[in-house]
Structures are given as C-alpha cells and as structure tokens.
Chain A
Amino acid sequence: MEVAGLVFLSSGLFLGGPRGAKKTTNVFGTAVGSGMVRFATAAIICSVFVILGAVISGAGAAHTLGKLGAVNAIPGAFMVAFAAALTVYAMTKAGLPVSTTQAIVGSIVGWNLFTGSLTGGSTLVTLVATWIICPVLAAVIAAALFKAISLWLRRAEINIFRLDAYTRTGLILAGAFGAYSLGANNIANVMGVFVPVSPFTAFSIGDLFTVSSAQQLFLLGSVAIAVGVFTYSKKVMMTVGSSLMSLSPIAAFVVVVSHSIVLFLFASQGLEHFLANLGLPTIPLVPVSSSQAVIGAVVGIGLLKGGRGIRGRVLGSIAAGWAVTPLIAGVLCFVALFFLQNVFNQQVSRLVVYEFTNPVLTRLADESIDIGGVKSLNGRRFFKSVVLADELDRLAYDDEEISRIVDLAEIDNFDFHPDRLADLGEDYLTPDQYAAVIRLSGRIFTHRWLLDDALVEGSEEWALLSDSTINKLYNREIDEKRRAIYSLFRVAGAP
C-alpha cells in the first residue's frame, strides 16, 4: 500500500476517530457521569464492542453510502471525509447540534456534483426518510420501555441497593450493546467513503473466515475510535454525561437501550435476512445519527412524563440540522475538491469515460431498450455521467433506462495479465470462482459488465440472484468479491 494512501486514509482516522469517540459518550456518558460505571470499565467495554460491531456488521450501512455515490479515487474520498469532519467541527464550535451522518451524505453529494456523477436518487430519499424516522422511532421505543420498566418496578418492589446493582449491570450491558450498534451503524461515516477505493486486499485466516478489504478498513477505523475513547472521551463523559441530561440512572438506561435498538435496526444484516425470510418488509441499512436517536429517546420519556421540560427549540434545531448540515458539507466539499484538483493537482475522481461501443449497442438491444436514440450519440465520448444523462433525457429515455444505459456505457479497463493473477488470494474465493478468474488469463475487458458476464460464464457462483430481499445478503457478498476483482485487475487510464 502506498504512503499516499495512508495519508489520505488519515482524514478518516484522525477526524472520524474522535467524532466516533464522542458518540460513545452518548452510550456511556450518563453511566460514567453519574458514577454508576467507572470510566476504565466503560472505555474497555466500549472499545471492544465498537470494534466488534464495525467489523462484524459494519458492511450493511456502509453499502448504502456506497450506493449514494461511488467515490472512486482516494484523494477524493479523503476530501469527502475531510469536508464532513470540518463541517461537524465548525458546527460543534458554533454550538449547533450536528450529525456526522448528515454531513457525510452532504459531502458525498458534493463530490457527485463536482465530478458530474449521478446521485443515487432513491438512496438519497431512503437516507433522508430514515433521519426523520430515527428519532421518532427512538422516542416510541423509549416511551414504551420506560412505561414497562416503571410498571414493573412498582410491582416488583426491589430494594434500593438491589435496584442499584441491577441498574449498573443493565447500564453496562446496554452500553456494550450500544457500542456494538454504534460500531455497526456508524463506522460507515468514518470509513464508508473509502470502501470503493480501499487500499487493502482481502485475506483469509485459515479456513475459518475471510477478512474482506472493507472489514480491514472498518477495523482500522474502529481502532481509531477506540483510541479516541481512551484519549478523548473521559472529560466529555464526565461533563456531558452529567450536565447535558439530568436523567435518573434508570431513565439513562432506557435512553441507551432505545438508542442502541434503533442503531441496530438500521445496521443489522442478520435482522434484514431474518425479516426477508419471513416475507416481511426489511429495514433499510442506513447510517443514522446516534445523537438524534438519543435526543429522540429523551423526548420520548419527556412526553410520557407529560411533556414538561421539552424545549421546542431543540426539536426545531434537529429539523434544521437535516437541511443545513448536508448543505454546508456539500458546498464545503465541492469547494475543497476544486482546490485539491486544481491547486494541489490531485486526482479527486477516477477518469470515467462513457462510450457507445458495439457490444454496448448489442447489449442494449438485447435488453430491448430502444437504441434508435442512442445511435445518434455513436462515436461521442462522455466524461461525466451527468452530461450523458442529460443527453439521454433529451432523447426521451425514462429514468430507469437512463441509469441502465449509463451503467452499460461506462468504459473500464481490465487486464487479466498472467502476472497479476498471482496476486489473487485463493482463500477469499470459492474454488469455482477462483477457477473462473484463472480462466480469464490473458483477456482484456473494456466494460465492467463484459467482465461480469465472463465471470458468470466461467462459474455460476459469480452470478447474482434475482433482486429480492432474501437474496440481498448473498448478492452483496458477490458484489464485494466482484469489486475486489475489479480493483485488482483494473488498469489506469482510459483505453
């Protein structure tokens, strides 16, 4: 891995790490601030579970960010992360509530605008919808949980000291769950943009499990958070924990649990799979704002207590944050990318060319898309997906067709030179998949879909299943393996 790569990753680590660490104060702040749990205990549990959550379940939410816009060059990814971090820093300094999640989304859209890439429209809608649902859901869960616990306490008559011991245990368990959910859901904010350009390659440990390149990134990111927890969180936990919310330990427990459930719901691939198997609708895996989940939960308890002490201003500022944060981050990212590209001469995006070669036209015809209009574009090269999309729009294609045509027309360059095959990790792929790749030795592909087709032809195990919720998990895994193949055999520069 190149040194430059490390330097660029650092924006994720140094700016994302402390931010992530700050969020852990949501999880353990009240417990530590009120003296129920010692800081050292909290920090150790927190670090371990953040890392576990990020590595085991981090992929789901990160995948969604990847769909919003595939930041395809590492300096670009650096700036996306940097702009988001800067926005968060500035807004925090100004005393405004801010969500890293929302900043990073704004930042990615900024990158899309700067590089002329298409923004995943439906993904954006899903993301924004979840932001609104997240605090509401947290409020509902918190209110229900709080009511249930109060009723139970009234009935169970628990000695004050026993209750204290239970609460401590509960806070520690809830904190561990919270840290896990936080790692799973929010690692996408720290490391998500680097996934498509990960400088790591997948490897296996024995036959037991493989560690994908994304997981290595997440490990790195979560270790940064863990370091942040130890170095940075203590003071924040002590002050924020006790001053921000004056909650009773039991209310604090309820807040942490509800926050964690919400984050977990929006990050768990296992749950998604489970729901899909039952034929139920699944929950989108999206990075949501943990701070807003906490505020939602506190408000939920407040409403249950009769709505006293809830300040409308806080609610207003959350709603304002939904609009303002992404906007600032987007603009900042756009401007910063301009400087990075033109002043520092860094490539902020991989040069992508769109061209209607013969295989593309044949394929379009196969998919019964009318190629009459496209033919008029024959021989032209497009360097921005947005420009091509506008052109196609003019030719009266609908949105679905446009995104398919843009996908197919993208020129890529893969060279399966025998020398490069040696780098292929055997353990990461199934034997069939591996054999299929080996059979491509010496071949060159000019479109990604051509390579995909060749892989599927080589082995059924490279094929994606039909697009249903049950198959989502499997397809995601195949996608990830395909991406690993792309990055291994991609040759720089347009053909």
Chain B
Amino acid sequence: MKRVKLFNKTRELESQIDEFCEKVDQGAMTFKIGINSYINDDFAAFEEKLKQVNQLESQGDTLRRNIERRLYEQTLIPESRGDVLGLLENMDTILNSCEGAMWQFAIEKPHIPEEFHTDYINLTDASVSAVDSLVAASRAFFRGAETVSDHMHKVLFYEKEGDKISTRLKMAIFADGLDLAHKAQLRNFVEHIDDIADTAEDVADRLAIYSIKRSI
C-alpha cells in the first residue's frame, strides 16, 4: 500500500509542477496581450490583463511554496532539490517582472509616440517568446526528456533578438526631439520589458547546468 501511496504523491507533485509552469507561461502571454492593448490605447483591456497577471502571480506563489514545502517535508530528490528550488524561484521572478512592468505602465501611463509602437511590440514579443521557450525547457527538464537543449537555444536566440531591438529602440528614442524626461521614461520602459528576456536567459543558463547534473 505504501508503494501505491508513494507514487500517488509523486503524481500529485508532477501535476503541481506542470501547473506552475502553466502559470508562468500564461503570465507571459497575458503580459504580451496587456502591453499590446496599452500601446493600442485600449486601457480597459490593459487593466483587465493586469488583474489577470496579478492573479496568476499570486497563484504561482502559492503553488511554488507548496511544492517547495513538499520537497523538504518528504525529503524528495535530495540530489537536485536545491536546483529545482532555484529553478522555481527564478521562474517566479519572471512572473514578478511581468507584473512589475505592467504596474509601471499602470502607474506612470507613459505616452508612447506612434513611431515606436512596432518596436515596443516586437520587443515584447521577443521577451515573451524567450519565456515561452524557457518554460518548455523547464518542462522537458522535469519530464526527464532529452529535449532541454532544443528549447534552450531558442531562449538564447530570443534574448539576443530582444537586446538588438532594445538597443535600436533606445537609440531611436534618444535621437528623437522629445524632452529628456520623456526620453528617460521611455528608455525605462524598454528596459522593463527587456529585463524579462534577460531573466529568462539567466534561468536558462542555470537550467543547462542542472540538466548536465541530471544526466547522472
């Protein structure tokens, strides 16, 4: 009986991890729609998405704490417990960054001139794609699949792409005739969005090490 119970608990944990990954992924996608709405001046939709990201973030937190507590209470995966813990916390950071960036938009309500719209949207796309790939890589890691590296190189690719866009965008902003305060504000928002891709890359780097460790 104990054996059956043992595997039941395992299955529960597996699905909790899956759920957590989903939250992160959904958070990123909601973030993307929210930013698009803001840029298209649809503030009601933006507020709606902000609320959703908020919820996802707090659900993610609860799940993460739950998983972490279980890992320690049941002394599971002693060898890679620290790694898994780090991974979950870093993924949570991504959710936090998404939420934080959206709050900044909600608080400061920056005016984004028309000519920058495409690049802001592209930058958001790149960042969210990086997070997407990271989530896929993490799932592969938990599932014990060999495909971790397949997803990993995409994270790096999108991060680089994001860097290019943000540099271009910042140069364009500062070459424009806006007043300095406005320029600085727009630059800050470029960085808020780009930070998400950077965090995803950091997590991916760690994940690469974890998966080497995992392959006995």
Where the two chains meet, the residues of A that have a C-beta atom closer than 8 Å to any C-beta of B are 34-36, 150, 153-154, 156-165, 168-169, 248-251
Contact = CB atoms under 8 A, between A and B. Distances in A.
Interface of B: 3, 6-7, 10-11, 13-14, 17, 75-80, 84, 141-146, 214-216
Contact of B141 (A35, A160, A162): A160
Contacts of B76: 161, 164
B144 A160 contact: yes
Nearest to A154: B146
B10 A165 contact: yes
Chain B CB within 10 A, most for which of A153, A156, A159, A249: A159
B216 A250 contact: yes
Contacts, number: 57
B10 A249 contact: no
Contact of B144 (A157, A165, A251): A157
A35 B78 contact: yes
Contact of A159 (B6, B14, B78): B14
B213 to A, nearest CB: 8
Contacts of B215: 150
17 contacts: A34-B78, A34-B79, A35-B75, A36-B75, A150-B216, A154-B146, A157-B144, A158-B144, A159-B144, A160-B142, A160-B144, A161-B13, A163-B144, A165-B6, A168-B6, A248-B79, A248-B216
A205 to B, nearest CB: 31
Q: Is the interface of A mostly helix, strand, loop or mixed?
A: helix
Contacts of B13: 161
Contacts of A161: 10, 13-14, 17, 76-77, 142
A461 B11 CA distance: 60
A251 B216 contact: yes
Given A157-B145, A161-B76, A165-B7, 12 more contacts: A156-B144, A157-B144, A159-B142, A159-B143, A160-B80, A160-B84, A161-B10, A161-B142, A165-B6, A168-B6, A169-B6, A249-B78
A34 B143 CA distance: 22
Given A250-B216, A251-B216, A162 B75 contact: no
A153 B211 CA distance: 13
Contacts of B144: 153, 156-160, 163
Nearest 10 pairs of A and B residues by beta carbon: A35-B78, A164-B77, A158-B144, A165-B10, A157-B145, A161-B10, A248-B216, A161-B13, A157-B144, A35-B75
A169 B84 contact: no
Point out which of A34, A35, A154, A165 has the most chain B C-beta atoms below 10 A from its C-beta: A165
Q: Count chain B CB atoms within 10 A of each CB in A36, A156, A160 and give the residue with the most.
A: A160
A150 B216 CA distance: 8
B42 to A, nearest CB: 41
A162 B79 contact: no
B38 to A, nearest CB: 38
A153 B143 CA distance: 11
B65 to A, nearest CB: 17
A249 B17 CA distance: 22
A250 B80 CA distance: 13
A34 B76 CA distance: 11
Contact of B143 (A157, A164, A165): A157
A251 B215 CA distance: 11
